[in-house]
Structure 1
């Protein structure tokens, strides 16, 4: 693996185990201990973990990594999920999108669909989003109308949160909300690591006629700090083909249609 992949792998390992040791990690990743030390020093310098004698431990941010460090994780699966979710969007709709890497892939798949790239004066699609990166990428698409919420920007996710974001969402109605999550469980519901993001995501779901959850299989069956909404509030789950079949069946028993891409 290249250095970028290795750094992401180290962050995942620390997040899952709370602590990693240089020698053992070097064996697992089949690189030298010196390489692991340099990588850990680099990540510690960016305040993504805390260095210890002989290894590293998780800081709080290990569970809420910056968007740029999440992007390479399960990237192929997220692209397939994005393409499948984009097929649920129809011309003329008003859709809501939150932030995160999977939602970003949905927005990119939408942007490349030919039916949303007309040259007419009327917009082919309206996208309401609290994600600065998604708004930035879609703004160049003249046939897509972008409505960005206000709010306070979170550096880790590029999402706008707080009362100003909620104020805008209270004034709009959505045909479809496509929501990326940090975890989703058939019994516990949808979750985010951050309570402010969960609050905005909850409102996005409440303002939509149909709610679509986009999440790769690693996020199924878990939970995080802040609950977004109940499973029964979602209508569709788009995930990848590695999803555990028992979990898929559990979601379906809760009335959620599961699409595996």
Structure 2
């Protein structure tokens, strides 16, 4: 992207869930088409031109798009949705996936590693009823959420903060994951395919998450159906290292069959 997304601007991404969903949809449309007119956006979203211009101004101010005469176009890569907007997408599916993932975590003494992402944050919320659970994470959002529950022990990595995902990455984060052993790694993804494995948009984030998975006894991928069959820039881990995928019924059934053939247990939430 042309500029980094700042956590101080979270409030600017929509004063309401409806506006945030619309802005996420605008980014999706521009990512797909490359360029879009204001008239097209009016037809797609049923909003007024004045409303859409305000949305485009916010997205442009954050360097996510470039305004054009009568519309907007992509500014660099729109592959990675800012975390403030990601939370508004596929909410029902993510809640079901999170509940299903939590059901596969033992309630007795257990250590679990969680990568960043809105789906893994949902898993963390579902785990707040567990006791004697250690959560290891490089996500500021997940660490803050879990820290409010005294029965959960939280281990936070160091590292360089990625403002797009609010994750700590790099050698300090990798060093923490390399130094510990966990029973389960819960891995979010920007893409998961039989051929390319589990992928994400940022190569540094991929290396950090690879370190997390390498020391886990098992790895569970949590990803809504839009991520299945999709391939992002950098591989976090190969398909063969994944024990289980938890997704929803919108996932491509043929890709799910290919994953099953490689030994991945597929759970539809």
> For this structure pair, what is the TM-score category when the shorter chain's length is used for normalisation?
over 0.9
SS of the residue 1:63 aligns to: coil
Please, which runs of 5 or more residues in structure 2 have no aligned partner? 1-16
Map 1:168-187 onto structure 2 (within 5 A): 168-187=176-195
For residues 89 and 184 of structure 2, the distance between their equivalents in structure 1, rounded to whole angstroms, comes to: 26
SS of the residue 2:109 aligns to: coil
Match of 1:153 in 2: 161
Correspondence 1:84 to 2:100: yes
Q: Which deviates the most, 156-165 or 35-44?
A: 35-44
What is the deviation of 1:46?
Answer: 2.2
Match of 1:24 in 2: 40
Correspondence 1:135 to 2:143: yes
For residues 89 and 235 of structure 1, the distance between their equivalents in structure 2, rounded to whole angstroms, comes to: 13
Please, which runs of 5 or more residues in structure 1 have no aligned partner? 118-123
For residues 98 and 30 of structure 1, the distance between their equivalents in structure 2, rounded to whole angstroms, comes to: 36
For residues 60 and 76 of structure 1, the distance between their equivalents in structure 2, rounded to whole angstroms, comes to: 30
SS of the residue 2:221 aligns to: strand
- Give the counterpart of 1:103 among 120, 128, 142: 120
Q: Is the 8 A contact 1:98 1:178 kept in 2?
A: yes
What is the deviation of 1:170?
Answer: 1.0
Runs ≥4 residues deviating over 6 A: none
TM-score, with length taken from structure 1: 0.93
What is the deviation of 1:54?
Answer: 1.6
What is the deviation of 1:61?
Answer: 5.3
SS of the residue 2:81 aligns to: coil
Q: Is the 8 A contact 1:185 1:221 kept in 2?
A: yes
Count the aligned residue pairs: 252
TM-align CA RMSD: 1.3
Match of 2:196 in 1: 188
For residues 3 and 170 of structure 1, the distance between their equivalents in structure 2, rounded to whole angstroms, comes to: 41
What is the deviation of 1:16?
Answer: 2.2
Q: Is the 8 A contact 1:96 1:174 kept in 2?
A: yes
For residues 81 and 69 of structure 1, the distance between their equivalents in structure 2, rounded to whole angstroms, comes to: 19
**In 2 relative to 1, CA 230–25 (structure 1 residues): closer, same or farther, beyond 3 Å?**
same
Q: Is the 8 A contact 1:48 1:65 kept in 2?
A: no
Match of 1:120 in 2: none
Correspondence 1:218 to 2:226: yes
SS of the residue 1:166 aligns to: helix
For residues 202 and 181 of structure 1, the distance between their equivalents in structure 2, rounded to whole angstroms, comes to: 12
Match of 2:110 in 1: 93
Q: Which deviates the most, 184-193 or 37-46?
A: 37-46
- Give the counterpart of 1:2 among 7, 12, 18: 18
SS of the residue 1:145 aligns to: strand
For residues 182 and 97 of structure 1, the distance between their equivalents in structure 2, rounded to whole angstroms, comes to: 15
For residues 61 and 69 of structure 1, the distance between their equivalents in structure 2, rounded to whole angstroms, comes to: 16
For residues 48 and 165 of structure 2, the distance between their equivalents in structure 1, rounded to whole angstroms, comes to: 32
- Give the counterpart of 1:51 among 49, 67, 76: 67
Match of 2:244 in 1: 236
TM-score, with length taken from structure 2: 0.90
Match of 2:49 in 1: 33
Deviations 1:41-98, CA, capped at 9 Å, x for gaps: 1211122211111211122352222211110011111111111001111121111001
